[in-house]
Amino acid sequence: MSQAINAYYTITASSEFREKERLRAKARHDEAQALYNARKGRDIEIARNLLKMNMPHDQIVKATDLTLEEISKL
């Protein structure tokens, strides 16, 4: 067991391992940011369509994840 623990510490202490982990974390962050931006864009498009249909702003807030401020700017 102690050999396995020592091997783990040896591997995770290497600069190559740390760099790979940093790149994986960056990739996860970039993917999450892309999904957030896509959802935000979808909500804006939905809000614009609902505004064209003269739907009240408070109902648009409920239908999307946008704030009242964001909807007023559209």
Q: How many CB atoms lie within 10 A of CB 47?
A: 21
* CA dihedral of 16, 20, 23, 24, whole degrees rounded to 10: -170
Q: Would you state the pLDDT for residue 73?
A: 93
pLDDT tens figures, 4-51: 777 777 777 788 888 999 999 999 999 999 999 999 999 999 999 999
**Distance of CA 11 to CAs 4, 14, 23, Å?**
11, 6, 16
pLDDT tens figures, 46-69: 999 999 999 999 999 999 989 999
- Model confidence, pTM: 0.67
Q: Would you state the pLDDT for residue 13?
A: 78
Question: How far apart (Å, rounded) are the C-alpha atoms in residues 4 and 9?
Answer: 9
